[in-house]
Amino acid sequence: MFSHKLIFDLAAMKDAQEILFDYIKDDHVENILIAEDHLHHSPKEILIELITTLSKAKDNKLRSIVLVLEHLSYDHNVLLKEAIKKKEFTPELRKIFDKFPFFDAKNLELNLYSELAKVAIENGILIVGAETKGSSAIRKGELQRIKEGNESFEKTFTNTSLKDSNSVKIFLGGAAHIADLESYDTVTNEKITIKGLKSFLNDDEERGLTKSIYIKDRASLPEEDPKAVKLGKYIGKNFDEVIETTPKNNIISTAPKPNLEVDEFENRFRNFFR
């Protein structure tokens, strides 16, 4: 049943961690999808604190965690495995994280994606890149990028080594990939649906349950529907939980963010997945 929690203080951080912890303890839950806005701080902060807490607990009864990241490609998995064996966040990996195309690194005071990976690797948690290829939101259109991304992510979860392991997979990715996106044709009024990753995974009866939680930073202005993600005329809201909270850190600097030219964005995306 859907539960929408709007708690505008740090207590929500603890609330989110407890929800995630309950999912991890539930053997029926195989996948946990954490939906985010890429520039929001809270999802990364909550995951960092969760991993730190679990590593200190040293509870042998808990399943191991595999962290699946939208932002990394399959090509990065070799480097990730080597780093995890050494439990060292290598300079090569840091360079990869600093090239993320979702934001301008010059405008960041703290890269929480790097911090998340560093904490996971130092605690021996397997990280898997979920992208099979880069796709351009500008050249192909945002909806096409969502569709291609969902297909790529589903293939990651059907990977035999992940599917057969006694672990819980935690995916961190854009909210528009996780929810079913719905709209209506302006002429026929026919409902149009773009299937999200949660529905894809739950449709396979051979898999365990897939749960989703949308974690977002507190909005500075009131939102029309804070429990939904919007993409153009499409709306998605079939999350199991929604938590909105105030993050501890401010990673976006107050300096004006420069406008990206199309070619610059293209090059950033292409170079990241090269």
DSSP letters of 153-221? HHHHHH-HHHHSSSEEEEEEEEHHHHSPEEEE-TTT--EEEE--HHHHHHT-TTS-EEEEEEEEEPPSS
Tell whether the torsion through CA atoms of 74, 75, 79 and 85 is positive or negative. Answer: positive
Q: What's the one-letter identity of residue 62?
A: L
How many Cβ atoms are within 10 Å of 187's Cβ, its own excluded? 6
pLDDT digits (tens, 9 = 90+) for 173-186: 999 999 999 998 88
Separation CA 175–CA 152 (nearest Å):
15
Q: What is the mean pLDDT of the chain?
A: 79
pLDDT at 75: 83
pLDDT digits (tens, 9 = 90+) for 116-133: 999 999 999 999 988 755
Mean pLDDT, to the nearest integer, of 235-261? 68
Number of H helices, E strands in the chain: 10, 11
Mean pLDDT, to the nearest integer, of 98-118? 67
pLDDT digits (tens, 9 = 90+) for 205-244: 778 899 999 999 887 677 888 889 998 889 999 999 999 8
Separation CA 221–CA 68 (nearest Å):
31
CB 105 within 8 A of CB 257: no
pLDDT at 151: 85
| Residues in Cβ contact with 221 at an 8 Å cutoff, skipping those fewer than 6 apart | none
The token duo for 203 is: 């449709």
Q: Going from the N-terminus, what domains does the chain have, and what CATH number goes with each? A: 3-272 (3.40.50)
Q: What's the one-letter identity of residue 119?
A: V
pLDDT at 160: 58
DSSP 108: B
pLDDT category, 164, cuts 50, 70, 90? low
HSE-up of 82 (CA within 13 Å, CB side)? Answer: 9
CB 167 within 8 A of CB 27: no
pTM score: 0.83
Separation CA 38–CA 15 (nearest Å):
21
CB 4 within 8 A of CB 242: yes
Only one residue has tokens 């405008």, namely 107
pLDDT digits (tens, 9 = 90+) for 23-79: 999 999 999 999 998 888 899 999 999 999 888 877 667 888 999 998 787 888 888
